[in-house]
A and B are shown apart, each in its own frame.
Chain A
Amino acid sequence: MKKETEHIVLKASDLSVGYQSKKETHTVAKQINFELKKGELVGLVGGNGIGKSTLLRTLTNTQQPLAGTIHVNNQELTKINQLTLAKQLSVVLTENVSQTNLSVQELIALGRQPYTNWLGTLSATDIEKTVSSLDVIQIKEFAHKKCFELSDGQLQKVMLARALAQDTDLIILDEPTTHLDLYHKVYILKLLQRLAKETNKTILFSTHEINVALSMCDKLIVMKQEKTHFGTPQELISNNAFDDLFPKDLVAFDLDSGSFKIK
C-alpha cells in the first residue's frame, strides 16, 4: 500500500479554484479530485471558459487554491519553496517568447537555471542535459537558429525541450497544440506520449482536441460546470462523462465511435 502512494506525482483533493478579491470569492470550479502516477499522459479537457487555465495556474502555484490541497511528490504544493519546486515541476505556457534574440540552444539551457550557480554558468551535466533534450525532441538541426526564426510548431517543440531540460518529474503544458495544423497537433501529442513512456515523466496538458486526446491519453480530466470527472477514456465513456460537455444543439458524443460528431 505504501509503495503505491510513492508513485503519485500530482494529487488534488477536494480542490476548488477561482479568484479571491477583498469583496468576494469567485469560484470557477470545485470538487476536483485526481491522482496522476509516474509516466502517465493526462489530458485536461472542457469547454471554453470552464476554468482549465485557472486550474493549471493553481497547479503550477501561480495562484492559490480556494479550498482543498495539491500534493506534488507527496508534499503540499504551497509549502514547497520556489527553487525546490522548479526541480519537480516544469511548465510550457502560451506566452510568446519569440521577442528575444536567443538561440534555440540558449533558450533550452535556461531550463537548467534551477541547477546553475549565481551567474548561471552551465556545468558539464547541464550541457549534457541540454543536448540530450535536443536529441529526444529531434530538433538538433536548428539548435543554433534564433527563436524568432522558427515556425509555431518548431517553437512549441523548443519550449517542450526547455521543460525537458529542467529535468522534472512533472511537466504541465497549457494548450500546447493551439495555433498548430492537424499534422503538428498529432505530432506534438505523439511526442508527449513517447516522452511519458520513455522518460517515465508525468505529463499533464490542457487541450481542445478531445477526439485526439481520447485516443492517445492514459487518463483524462474532464471539467464541466457542476462536476469534474477523472479516469481512463474507457471509464469516462462508460460513465457518460462526455454527454453534457457541450450544449447539445451542434455537437454530440457518439458512443459507438467514441468521438464527437457534428450534427
Chain B
Amino acid sequence: MLLIVLVVCFFLNICLGSVSIPFKDVVAAILEDNSTKSSWQHIIINYRIPKATTALLVGSGLGVSGLLMQTLFRNPLAGPYVLGLSSGASLGVAIVILGSSLFGGAFSALLLTKWSLVIASSIGSFLVLLAVVLVSIKVKDTMAILIIGLMFASVTAAIVNMLSYFSTAEQLQRYVFWSFGSLGNLSWNELLILGVIYFIGVLLTILSIKSLNALLLGDHYAKSLGLNIKRSRFIIIIATSCLAGSITAFAGPIAFIGLAVPHLTKLIFDTSNHRILVPAVLFSGSILMLICDSIAQLPTSEYTLPINAVTSLVGAPVIIWLLMRKKKMFV
C-alpha cells in the first residue's frame, strides 16, 4: 500500500514544477530515454529526478532519526530540529559564510566552497548531539532536555545575529538562502555521497531494532534482558548523527519532519514495535517530504517556496493537533 503511494508521489513530484511535464512523458523519459522533447528529458534527468530522490532521502532519513531520538530519550517530543541539531548545523554554516571575511583573502575563497558548508554543518550538528547526550546522562528529566535544546537554539541564534551584524549584504543573502533549505541543489555526485551516508545510517538503525524495542522498557529492564546498553546507545547516536547531520548539511535545516513523521506513523500503525515502525517511518517520511516539496513548487508557477517554511507550515500544526487531542503521546 505505502509503496504504491510512494511511487505515485515520486512521479507526481517529477511531473510538477515551473514546467509541467505530462505523466506519460515522465515515464517515457525514465524508461526509454527518447522522450518527445529533449528539453524535458534534460529537465527530468538532471533536475527533477535528483530533486525527488533528495526529497525521498531527506524525508525518510529525518523521520528515522526522529524516531531514534524519541526512543533513545524516551521522550515523545524529541527530534533533530527540536533538540537543536539543526541549530548546531546553522551555527557551523554561519561561521563559514558570515565569518569568512574575518579569516581574510585567500583563505576565505577556500572556505566558501560547497563542501566546506557540508563539513561545517556536519560538525555543528554532531557537536550539539554530543552535548545533548552528555547532558541527558546527567539530567534525567525529559522536559529539561527539551528546554536545554531550546537554549542551544537561542545561543546559536544570538551568535548568528552577532555575525550578521558584521557581515556584508552578500554574505547575509548567502546564509539566508541556505537557511531556507533546498532539495534541488544537489548534483548526482553529491546525491551519491548523501546516499552512502544515508545507507550507513539506515543500516545501523535496522541493526538496532531489537535494542530499540528493549529500550522502550527503560534502561534497567533493557539491561536485565541482556542488552549492552552503552554499545546500543552508541550505535543509535551514530545512526542519528549520520542521518540528521548529512541531510542538514546537504539540504539545509528542514523543520518538524523529524518530529511529525514518527508521530503520524505511530498514529496510523498504532504500535510502538520498531520492527513495524522503522520501515513504516521510512515510507511515510518519504511520502510526506515529496508532498511538501510538491507544494513548495507551487505547481505551474515559476516560484518556489523555501522548503523549510513549507515543512514548518505542515509540521507545526500536526504537532499542536497531536498535543491538543488530550490522548497520550507515546514514545
Write the residues of chain A forming the contact surface with B, with a CB cutoff of 8 angstroms: 60, 62, 82-87, 89-91, 93, 95, 97, 99-103, 106-107, 110-111, 113-114, 116, 118-120, 148, 166
Residues of B249-299 at the interface with A, using a CB-CB cut-off of 8 Å, are 266, 270-273, 275
Instruction: Please judge, given known A-B contacts A62-B220, A102-B271, A119-B275, whether A114 and B266 are in contact too, CB under 8 Å.
Output: no
Q: Which residues of A contact B214 (CB under 8 A)?
A: 110, 113
Interface residues in chain B, defined as those with a beta carbon under 8 Å from any beta carbon in chain A: 74, 206-207, 209-210, 213-214, 216-218, 220-221, 223-228, 266, 270-273, 275, 328, 330-331
Question: Whole-angstrom distance between the alpha carbons of A85 and B224 in the complex?
Answer: 8
Instruction: Please determine whether A120 and B209 come into contact, CB atoms closer than 8 angstroms.
Output: yes
Residue in chain B with minimal CB distance to A163: B224
B224 — nearest CB in chain A belongs to which residue?
A91
Which of chain A's residues have a CB closer than 8 A to the CB of B331? 99-100
Which residues from A are CB-within-8-Å of B224? 60, 86, 89-91
Task: Report yes or no: A120 in contact with B226, Cβ–Cβ below 8 A.
Answer: no
Chain B residue numbers with a CB within 8 Å of A120 are 209-210, 213, 275
Enumerate 8 A-B pairs (CB-CB under 8 Å) in ascending A order. A82-B226, A90-B224, A97-B217, A99-B328, A101-B266, A114-B225, A119-B210, A120-B209
Say yes or no: B220 contacts A101, CB within 8 Å: no
Q: Is the CB of B217 within 8 A of A110?
A: yes
Q: Which residue of B lies closest to A166 (CB)?
A: B225
> Nearest B residue to A121 by beta-carbon distance?
B275
Cα–Cα distance between A83 and B214 once the two chains are bound (Å): 13
CB distance from B68 to the nearest CB of A (A): 15
Task: With CB as the reference atom, state the residue of chain A lying closest to B76.
Answer: A99
Please name all residues of chain B whose beta carbon is closer than 8 Å to the beta carbon of A111 when the two chains form the complex. Answer: 225
Given A101-B330, A119-B210, A120-B209, 11 new contacts (CB under 8 A): A62-B223, A82-B227, A84-B226, A85-B226, A95-B220, A99-B331, A110-B214, A110-B216, A113-B213, A113-B227, A114-B226
Q: Which residue of A lies closest to B217 (CB)?
A: A97
